[in-house]
Every structure is written in structure tokens, then in C-alpha cells.
Structure 1
Amino acid sequence: MATCGKRSRSIQPRHGESNRCERHEKTQKSNRKWEEMDHEILICIMKRYPWYEWHQSKNADFIICKSWLSAFLDVLFPPGDVLDLRILDDHQKFGCAESHYRGRYSPYAWKIRMFYRYLKLNLDRRPSNYYTKLILSECILHSQAYMDIAQRLPALKSFVSPVKMSSCHELFNSSMFAGSCSFVSSATLRHCQNLEVAHCPIDMSWDLAGWCKSLRDLTFVGMIGRGPGPGPFVQDSMAVVIAKSFPLLERLSFTSHVFTFAGMSMILDGHKNLSCLDMKHSICVAQDGIGRRSYRTSLDCQWPKDKITRVKAFLTCEGKNCPDCGHLYLSLPFWVNSHFHFDL
């Protein structure tokens, strides 16, 4: 019986296809894997894009290889004794609509959680005494994060907290997130009792006084004094706390504050051994000037000169002639209340 067989044909590549195949092979040979790249090259590549663009998918594996992770963590948290979280404040560049920022499962909230995951990995690879300074971001992490961070930084000597702190629900609200400063301080400062330097909002004074007895350099940002109503920043009790606390204090600074004469006197009486008192862009007014709703009259600073002379270095700005805060003396209706804030 005869059988018929099919003729075998060799498939000829189309015109130009062989060239494309050759180029593809050359490209594959020239491509380098992540783990084969030098650490510095990886860092240069990752710096070209914001950190949050490296993970657009919630299901993506965020650890490609050890060398990739090491370089990425060095971009987020550069080597050195300062743990700076302000890179998290790039929320305005996330590229999401305002409605997408809100909610626990929003893209923004997911990236906040991803950032904290990277932060924990970074702390895992460092010795416990590696960081001596912590700089918080304006964006607030979730509730347990600050306590976890502080517990893992036993060698912390310096602490910086921004004036304004916002949650992911208030990214487009200019007002301060209610209670954020007190929450951060109470969760963090109880584990930072060896602090020597602090730069923080004025309403952290209570927690600092309770936990941080070794402070030598203290900078407050916010407002202090006396106003109509119990506002969060304008209580004379703050002056009392500052006066009776921080026995080792050598340098005290207030930025953008309004003082009563009595409040300033109490603070100076409580710290008679200050080597430096920095009062740039702050004013001290008479008691009858506080609480008046509005007027367009010149304000005269009335510093307690007899007490200030004890300070070795007393630093002030040019007052009415200061380019940053001079307009507050004359040009605007001036009042001191719980909503007043120097925006310098």
C-alpha cells in the first residue's frame, strides 16, 4: 500500500524579521538584572522617580531583590544618624483626585501603609543606636506607628515635629488636624526621655515637661499668651509649665508667638541660667492689648527688660521694620485669639 506524505517546508523569515530578532537578542544580552547593578547605579535610577511611583499596583511584590530593596531604602532614608520622614509630605504629587484621597482604602491611604512598611524594614536593618535625630512629617501615620518608631530609637537625642500635621482625611483642609500634636507627642515622647534637643509646636509643652527632663535646647513654634476663649494655643498655663519644667535648659527659642508681659516674666523667672533666648518674630504686649477684637494701632513690645538682662544672649528681629513680621504691627487688623497664627 502506498502512502502519501506531506512535503516539509522550511519557514523563511519575513523581510526584516531576522534583523528584529537579532536586535532583540542583543538587547537581552545588554540588559542587566537588578541584582547585577552597582548600589550607586541603583540609587541614581530610583531617584529619577518619586518613591510612590515604584508601586502602582496594590498586588505588586514590593521586594524585587535584596540589592533593589537596599538601594530603595537608601533613597527613602539616606544613611546617617537622622531619620527624616518628610519625604512622606509629597502627597500633593500623588496624582489622585481629591475624592481619591479620602477613605481607609483610598490610593493615598494605601501608599501611607506602604511607606510605613518600608520604614519598618529600614529600622530592621539598622542597629538600635543608629539614629539620634527624628524629624516627623506633616502627614500623620497610623495610630501605632509613632510608638513603634520611638521604641526602636533608644539613642534618640533630637526631635523635630512640624507646626501643622494633617491626616489623610484633611489633606485639603488648611486647619490643623484636631489633637494631632498631642497624640504624636504622648505616643512618642514617653519613649524619648533622653532627648536633649526639641523643635515642636507649643502645645507639646505639657508632654515634653512630663517625659523629657534632660532638654538643653528647646524651640517652640505656635502661639502663647492669653485670648478670649480657651483656644488650644493661647493659655497662660503653657507659660507656667515652661517656667517650672526643663531644669537643664540652656537655650530657649520661640518663633511666631504672642506673649503677655506676665507670661514672659514667668518664663524668665523660671529659667534664670539661660545662655540664649531667641524671640525672633515674637512680640510681648501689655495685658490690656490681649483679647481686643480688632484695632489699627501700633503695638509696642514690652519686654521685661530687668529680667532679660540676666540672659547672656537675647535675640530679636527688627520688630516693626522686620520684613517678615513688621506688617503685623500696623497694616492689618490685629487680634489675639484661638484662631490667630503667624504664617511666616
Structure 2
Amino acid sequence: MSDYRWDLNKQKNIIRFALVAGILLMLVKFAAYLLTSSNAILTDAMESIVNVVASGFAFYSIHLAARPKDQNHPYGHGKVEFFSVFLEGGLIFIAGVLILGKAVYNLFFPETLGNLLEGIGLIAFTGVVNFVLGTYMVKQSDHLNSLTLHADGKHLQTDAYSTVGLLAGLIIMYYTGWVWIDTVLSLGLGAFILFSGYKLLRKSIGGLMDESDAELVEKVAHILQKNRKDDWIDVHNLRVQRYGHELHIDCHVTLPNYYNLNKVHDEVSAFDRLINNNLHANTELFVHADPCIPTCCHYCRLKDCPIRSEPQRRDVRWDQENISENKKHF
């Protein structure tokens, strides 16, 4: 089995496990709510519905993103992962709005609470499971280059963090009898969940709009700077687009103007191999080869150049900012 197929199957297995775990944890949280009638616990349980729906769509999006390129989708189907993140963020945002609405309602119509100790135990169990599973998914998303796994893992971690705050409030409420803490917790958790949904929506919309990923461009710049060849006089107008597990990079590379077509092809191929061997992602490159001009000489590293018009006077370090600019580094 190829590394790609193995990675894909692993992503599917992780999401499948997260989906099953999400359903079980959702049932546990609703059981805790029925025991306690706590509005804060209901807040946590409602978010679990989002976890289950999001995991189900995440599984489908990974399956669809793995389909090969075709005539109608020359860049593949990877963009569907951004729709998955958008759906998850939207559901979280809506859940936050509903939770805040329920909390405001209970300000005027409070409910009688009971069995808090049992509820605390059940919620603590769900928090531990969510944190362990979410952390594992985030780590695997970096290794498997999966935006969907990352979003789903971050969501579970967020759920676990909110559970910590919930538990602290429930424990205080248990020992003090301050019932109003339940409503305050709901308001705080609702606002936190609302903000988490907004961040996911922002990330998905940025991806669908092909927003520049500064961190990824910086990683490419670091690889090029560390392994640059003297023949590669200049790299500029570099852009990176993410399509699921694949990346598409296009850029301009300045080469000596006396190189013939075969030599240019060899250098472009070496450039391609360098990126694919070091970026740990399936990457398709479109490289435009520029011929050097006399004004490049003062920063050109090439030794014994037969057409040099002046000696090298400075060195240009490639970083995220200057390789993104659409101009040579004069």
C-alpha cells in the first residue's frame, strides 16, 4: 500500500473512531443533564451534537478529498475540506447562539438543580476523553497534513477546555449552594463556544478564498534558503494554495540567461524535488524560469560566471516576505 493510501485510511479510521466516541459522550452528557437539570451541563451536551454532526461530515469530506483529479476537477477535490471546516464552524457558532439564548432565559426562569456530584463525575469523564482524543487528532493532522483532522481535533480540545471551566463552576456550586453560578457558567461557555465557531469560520473562508498561508510560505522559504543552489539566483512571486492533503506552488526562479533549455529543465526539476522531499506533503509546482539580467549580478552567488558585469556585493536571504513579492530582489 502506498504511503498516500495508508495516510488516507488512517485519517478515515481516526475520524470514524471520533464519530463513535462523540455519540457515546453526547449520550453521557445528556444523561448528566437529566440527572442534574443544570443549564451549564445542557450547554456542554448541546455542543456534543455539533461534535457528532461535524465528525460525520469530516469523514465524508476526507473520502471525497481523496478522489483523484478528473477533467472537471483538475486540482482534485481537496477544497471540500474547507467546506467541512465551514460546516463545523457554522454549527458551533449556531450552538453558541442557542446556548446564550437558553442562559438568558434561565436568568428569568431558573430551574431546580439536583444530583450535582453524579453529574460532575460524568462530565469529568467526557472532558478527559475529549482532551486525549483531540490532542491525538491535532498531532496526527500535522503528520498527515489534514485540515479536517486539525479542525475536528481543535474542536474537541476546545470542548475539553470548556469542560474544565464547567467543572470548576459545578464544584463551587455544589459546596456553596450558589445556584446563580449555573447561569453565569452558561453565559461564559456560550460566549467561548461562539468565538471558537467564529475562528473556524474565518479559517475556512480564508482557505476558500485562497488566502495566503504565511506560516506555510515561511516553511517553503526556509527549505529553499537552507538548500539553495548558486544557479538559483532569485526566487519571487511564490504562492501556495492548499487543496486538502495536496499543495500547489507557483513561483518565478531566475537562472543564468546562457543556460539552454535542457539545463533549465534540470534546474527546475531539482527545485521541484527539493520542495517535495522536504515539505512532507504532495506538492505540485509550476515554476516560471526567468533569465538573469545585469542588475542581478550584485547579489548573484554563481562563481566564474562568464557574463558577470560586477562582483557580488550583497546576499539576499529568502524569507516569507521577499519570495512572495512579484519582482526580482534588486
TM interval, shorter chain, is under 0.3
Q: TM-score, normalised by structure 1?
A: 0.21
Q: Quick check: which has more Rg, 1 or 2?
A: 1
* More relative contact order, 1 or 2 (CA 8 Å, 6+ apart): 2
Q: Which has the higher helix share?
A: 2
TM-score normalised by the chain length of structure 2: 0.22
